[in-house]
Amino acid sequence: MNDNVENIILEQLKAIRSDLSEVKGKLEHVETSQKSLEGMMFGPAGYFRDIDMRVENIETRLGG
């Protein structure tokens, strides 16, 4: 009977390990997606900053 209980516990631990591995894989996917979205959000900021600097240079040349 004791062996049966140990086997049941081992099977449950294996199932938990499997579920945890699946969750870890999904979490890695979410982290990758988040980093991609951050790049999409903050990437244009540099572009807009460059445009702002160019406009300021043009205004300075025009005396405005």
Domain boundaries, the chain: 1-64
- Confidence bin at 2 (pLDDT 50/70/90): confident
Beta-carbon-side half-sphere exposure of residue 61 (alpha carbons within 13 Å): 6
pTM: 0.57
pLDDT(1) > 80: no
- Residue corresponding to tokens 């900053």: 49
CA dist 63 and 33 (Å) reads 46
Residue 57 has a pLDDT of 95
CA dist 30 and 24 (Å) reads 10
Tens-digit pLDDT profile for residues 9-47: 999 999 999 999 999 999 999 999 999 999 898 888 888
pLDDT(64) > 80: no
Residue 11 has a pLDDT of 96
